[in-house]
Amino acid sequence: MTDLRVISTDGSDKILEEVVVQGFADSLRGRLACPGDDGYDAARKVWNGMIDRHPALIARCAGPADVIAAVRFAREHGLLVSVKGGGHNITGNAVCEGGLMIDLSPMKSVRVDPVGRTARAEAGLTWGEYNRETQAFGLASTGGVVATTGIAGLTLGGGLGWLHGKHGLSCDNLLSADIVTADGQLLTVSANQHPDLFWGLRGGGGNFGVVTSFEYQVHPVGPVLAGMVVHPMKRAMEVLRFYRDFCRNCPDEMVAAGALMTSADGDPIAVIVAAYIGDLAAGEKAMASLRKFGPPLADTIAPTSYVALNTLFDAAFPYGGVQRYWKSSFLKELGDDVLDTMISRSAKFLSPMSNVLFFHLHGAAARVDRDATAFGLRDDQWDYDVISQWTDTAESAGHVQWTREFWTAVEPFASGQVYVNHLDAEEGTTRIKAAYSHGYEKLVALKNVPDEPEHQTDGVSSISLAPLAGRGPG
């Protein structure tokens, strides 16, 4: 180890002496990884292969004490900080260039209480890992539809998933969280403890500190009826009209996604993926029209486990390596005009890995009072994402431009709202406000206004976390 050049919060360079870095390394139970160290490159890798940043220091945290040590070290030396959960965010905000990355991914313990129907989960877990533990008891809480997505970033931004129609968003199932605030103190926040901060954590992103663990309400789930029906792209208009009407009439137990994409054989296809979370016979009835329509080229709908359901999209979105750019908005209506715009542009995908996805937000997730959590976009509507994926870095500019043009053509039909977890790296304040609507001002106030006096240090608010990376206000 030698003296280390690091980036500070104001963007300037500073040198950390070897003895200081070694002292920090010795204070951790986990490992401190610097450029060239074993595991450094694996730790800085995130889902989006376009992100290739090199933190000066990666604190591979083994537990909350390491997170406290890392936040205090960053504060003492004024370091630029980023926080990594599952590393799935399209922006790559989990990794900073030249600063300290607080890597939570080694923190993976889960404790399920099957009697109280709660699960306490550390912030480095992915949904695949969390589901495996909760499903051992036949339980689950709403999580992401891809197994490798982190529970942390997804929950802090809201959390759409196959269970949200029946049980609300991931953040609606959050009972409490342990969070290390900017002054390096660990607080437990819940409806009764620091309720404003708890409100902000449920949709406000990683703005308020480093969450070390989440306590979720869990529900009996599974087996489920789920799978996809596949149609040729030439029938995409009929398929998406059907999908629109199907979503409008589906019960809380059903959540359905639509996709325009390319099959493994290279054929352009329109797909509906649906999951019924409840009695299998009732699910068969609710799925009947979907399976009959067309008829489809392929129908994989069958009883399956909740764990398997949450791997259905995994092959389409492999972790790392692939270059990605996406844009997203909410659509309140899937009218023929917007469908026509999307279908005609989807006929010209630049890569067979690219796709357009629709995910229907409804049911319990849409009935929560919009003021109850920072995630306030509680309308029955579709999150849509135009997702470009490619491997040749020389082609990046073309894919980015194609994606932007697609999104710009669709935007006149959009609701003016966007899911914070789907914002891309270049979005400005207007779009961040669109992710919060009425809650934006309250979030800014929460981020900037001092917390209770006993949680302040040196007159600085414990929750004013400007250096900590994350999407959202401020």
Which chain residues interact with ligand FAD by CB under 6 A? 46-47, 82-89, 93-94, 104, 123, 144-146, 149-150, 152-154, 156-161, 206, 210-211, 317, 421, 469-471
Question: Which residues, at least 6 apart from 40, have a Cβ–Cβ distance to it below 8 Å?
Answer: 33, 34, 58
**H-run or E-run covering 139:** strand 139-140
> Distances in Å between the alpha carbon of 8 and those of 80, 82, 473?
5, 12, 21
Question: Which residues, at least 6 apart from 30, have a Cβ–Cβ distance to it below 8 Å?
Answer: 59, 60, 61, 62, 63, 66, 106
**What 3-state class would DSSP assign to 360?**
strand
Query: Which residue is associated with the tokens 């270059």?
Result: 323
Tokens of 250: 């589906």
Could you give the CA distance from residue 250 to residue 248 in angstroms, rounded to a whole number? Answer: 6
Shortest approach of ligand FAD to residue 155 CB, angstroms? 8
Shortest approach of ligand FAD to residue 68 CB, angstroms? 13
> 171 or 414, CB closer to ligand FAD?
171
Running DSSP on this structure, what letter comes out for residue 140? E
> 20 or 322, CB closer to ligand FAD?
322
Tokens of 346: 């989807």
Shortest approach of ligand FAD to residue 285 CB, angstroms? 26
**What 3-state class would DSSP assign to 286?**
helix
Shortest approach of ligand FAD to residue 89 CB, angstroms? 3
> 205 or 294, CB closer to ligand FAD?
205
> 146 or 269, CB closer to ligand FAD?
146
Shortest approach of ligand FAD to residue 294 CB, angstroms? 26
> 294 or 427, CB closer to ligand FAD?
427
Shortest approach of ligand FAD to residue 9 CB, angstroms? 15
> 316 or 409, CB closer to ligand FAD?
316
Shortest approach of ligand FAD to residue 385 CB, angstroms? 9
Amino acid at 42: A
Which residues is 32 bridged to in the sheet? 59
> 294 or 354, CB closer to ligand FAD?
354
CA-based nearest residue to 407, from 390, 372, 431: 431
**Contact, 366 vs 379, CB < 8 A?**
yes
Shortest approach of ligand FAD to residue 78 CB, angstroms? 19
> Distances in Å between the alpha carbon of 352 and those of 118, 321, 349, 451?
41, 16, 7, 50
> 21 or 123, CB closer to ligand FAD?
123
